[in-house]
Amino acid sequence: MRETLASRKLRIARVVALRVTDSRTVRRLNRRFRGEDAATDVLSFNTDFEGLRRPDGSADLGEIVIALPVAARGAKQRGRTPGEELALLTVHGTLHLLGFDHEEADEERQMKELEWVALRRAGFESAGRS
């Protein structure tokens, strides 16, 4: 996450909350906020409000919620370790908080490249390549 934030050269420090939880919780959140009644591996909720700062001068960027059982299945399917998968999902969620998306093919390519760069910098070289 730190490498992802550092790569964006933000003017002020950002705080990201990370919650690793069960599939049921993520399914409930996904249904409530995205209208999709299924557990997914990662959700991001942006809480970056212009001008709102913490006492130390930093700003909240948002919260990343990872469903550990879904992440574990994804790791196994893609031949990654659970740590590599969690690192990838954390970077992926952070990029969403920073405004990146992957709805279009060019956006997806850009996001995958940013993921790979951040993961490589963090020492997870194989995690970002499918």
Task: Return the pLDDT at 52.
Answer: 81
Nearest by Cα to 37 from 46, 26, 27, 47: 27
Cβ atoms of 98 and 89 within 8 Å: the answer is: no
Name the CA dihedral angle for 46, 5, 83, 106, rounded to a multiple of 10 degrees: 80
How far is the C-alpha of 68 from the C-alpha of 51, rounded, in Å? 34
> In Å, how far from its chain's centre is CA 109?
16
pLDDT digits (tens, 9 = 90+) for 57-94: 888 889 999 999 999 999 999 999 999 999 999 999 99
* Domains along the sequence of the chain with CATH: 2-121 (3.40.390.30)
Name the pTM for this structure.
0.84
Cβ atoms of 39 and 52 within 8 Å: the answer is: no
Cβ atoms of 94 and 1 within 8 Å: the answer is: yes
pLDDT band at 5 (very low <50, low <70, confident <90, very high): low
